[in-house]
Amino acid sequence: MPREIDLTAVKPYADHRGDGLVQLSFTLPVPYSLAARKAALELAGKMGFDEPEVVHYEQLTEGYTYFVMYGACAHTVDFTALEGEGFNIEYMTEDEIESFAAEHVGRKIVVVGASTGSDTHSVGIDAMLNLKGYHGHHGLEGYRSFETYNLGSQVPNSVLLAKAIEVDADAILVSQTVTQQNLHVQNLTELVEMVEAEGRRREMILACGGPRVSGELAKELGYDAGFSKGTYPHHLATFIVRELAARVASTT
Ligand code: B12
């Protein structure tokens, strides 16, 4: 009989529940040596790992040492406190989205997306919008209920907004990958300011995504939603059709 899991104090497990075992890897800017190994063990202890163990270390390049370690995480989190609103979204399937959109919106939903600013990473926005989609899930281009415009990468915010206005878009979708010097924050913020300056904020859904974008960050920056790693097109489509249906309902 499996032991009850205490969801108020969750920690990783490997061999036994509650052993806290974690594999971690990192590089230290010190020469490959026994002192480097000792430094890694000390650091892992300071990170909150009990009984840290170096299972592999090697010189990465001169003056740098790479480590693979195990350690038992001493900390826990209260999972029950995280089960509130916003975390338990039930996503619709593609078919359910099509039926929902036909019933509650009743016309094509127009979306315009791009990877903006100097950001050249286009795989994320392509995954959401292009027919081939992501991991066997169609992008929105493959949905009957959507009309999509994917402007590609390195698109200035002004160009993205101009296209959204031209095609009377219901939603603007932005992808941001490069986060060095908080470039993504500046870039995402600029778009919101431009949309507001055009007086279009209330009529357009704004959603952004990227490996270091979170729902919390997106909302903080003035977006309606933010999506990160592991997002599939039907997650985004579920959000858009529900949001649009709510807006349609509130204006009729
Ligand atoms: C492929 C790649 C490139 C290609 C991009 C080709 C292309 N056409 O996109 C090339 C070689 C051009 C490139 C260039 C650079 N890259 Co690069 N690149 C990558 C790499 C290997 C994979 C990125 C990727 O395609 N992931 C797959 C997609 C599917 O994942 P995703 O983008 O996260 O998208 C998912 C979610 O985030 C979300 N999502 C994303 N966008 C959106 C949008 C919406 C609306 C929604 C709803 C969801 C959503 O859904 C997607 C599916 O689940 C990563 C490393 C890595 N392994 O991740 C580095 C990486 C992203 N690159 C990096 C860097 C630094 C660069 C360069 C600056 C390097 C340089 N010094 O020149 C340049 C960028 C130049 C520029 N001006 O932007 C860093 C970014 C570091 C940072 N945090 O800032 C990374 C992490 C590598 C690293 N470890 O240093 N890169």
CB distance 129 to 232 below 8 Å: no
CA of 178 to the centre of ligand 1 (A): 7
* Residue spans per domain, the chain: 1-88, 91-251
Q: How far apart are CA 171 and CA 204, in angstroms?
A: 5
- Give pLDDT, residue 83: 72
- Atom 46 of ligand 1, nearest CA residue: 209
CATH architecture of 1-88: 2-Layer Sandwich (3.30)
Same fold for the domain at 1-88 and the one at 91-251?
A: no
Provide the whole-model pTM. 0.85
Strands (E), the chain: 21-28, 49-61, 64-73, 109-115, 146-150, 171-175, 205-209, 225-227
Residue identifier of the C-alpha nearest atom 34 of ligand 1: 124
Ligand 1 nearest atom to the CA of residue 208, by list position? 45
pLDDT score at 251: 79
Residue 159 amino acid letter: V
- The predicted pLDDT at position 157 comes to 98
What pLDDT score does 4 carry?
82
pLDDT, position 84: 65
Burial 57-75 (b: 16+ CB within 10 A, else e): beeeeeeebbbebbbbbee
Q: Phi and psi of 175, rounded to 5°?
A: -115, 135
- Structural fold of domain 91-251: Rossmann fold (3.40.50)
**Residue of 112, 172, 177 to test ligand 1 pocket, by largest number of atoms within 8 Å of CB:** 177
The rounded average pLDDT for each run of 10 residues, N- to C-terminus, in the chain (252 residues) is: 79 92 97 98 96 97 97 93 71 96 96 97 98 95 98 98 98 96 93 96 95 94 96 97 91 75
Report which of 252, 199, 193 is spatially closest to residue 221, judged by C-alpha positions: 193
The pLDDT score that the predictor gives to residue 205 is 97
Active site residues: 132
Cβ burial of 125 (10 Å; 0-12, 13-18, 19+) is buried
Ligand 1 atom at shortest distance from the alpha carbon of 113: 45
Q: Which residues line ligand 1 (CB under 6 A)?
A: 113, 118-125, 127-128, 134, 173, 175, 177-180, 207-212, 227-231, 236
